[in-house]
Structure 1
Amino acid sequence: MPVACLVAGAYVARLAVVFTLAWTHSVQKSEWQEDWRATPDGLVLDEVRVEGSGAGMEPPEGAVREGRFYVAHPGLPPQREVLLRRSGATADWRVCTEGGCRPMGALLPSDLPPVDADPVRLTLCD
């Protein structure tokens, strides 16, 4: 069974088969969550949840309001790689699994050179 990995420079952090990427928009302060799944064909985006709209945080097409989130199922083809930018000017990505959520930085070595800390590639592990 494939597993997802975060790749930063030469460092690789194994994630899980199913995980959530979450972040808070720096201006709008709206929460965005994406449920991903590792498959033999690539990374599949199963569901997107957006807390609000505005400042570039528009809910995806076809989203339906469920509680405090707009929920959508994008139907994108499997992705071989997703680039995750880390400017340092905003809160870090959160990576969530059954064990809870952690900042992406907690999964990477603290002495990682800045040039290797951005971007981080989300991909299937070898």
Structure 2
Amino acid sequence: MSIITRTAIILLTLLLLAACGKESAKEKAAVTDDEQALRVIITEMISFIELEDYEGLFKKFASPEDWARMDTTGSIEKAMRRVAMFREPMLQGLREALAVKPVFSENHTKATIMVPSEIPDFVFRKIDGKWYSSQ
């Protein structure tokens, strides 16, 4: 094999590796952005629950579809009472969730955070670029 052929193969390999690295960096950046967005949301959810602003919690973090369904079925009050009833375990779980790495679906439109507490996992859905709680 000539030196020109070897050089060409090496350059081609380096170009391919560089392209893979860039794609990987973009994916990592997206994951990091999503993780950061979820941490902000969880922190805000904690604040709403600490302030006992359960209606504000649902208005801000329920998906538009879920909010409309709860509004038309009259289940908003029931959901607010349930959060109030389990306030402390929810706060503990959310605080634990801040330290847990989310597990994302392949297309990054669903994130699950499994916490050590004996409460259900926290599930979030990304709709039109915005994350919503999917409990």
TM-score of the aligned structures, taking structure 1 as reference length: 0.26
Higher relative contact order (CA closer than 8 Å, sequence separation 6+) = 1
Q: Which of structures 1 and 2 has the bigger CA Rg?
A: 2
Whichever structure has more strand as a proportion of its residues is: 1
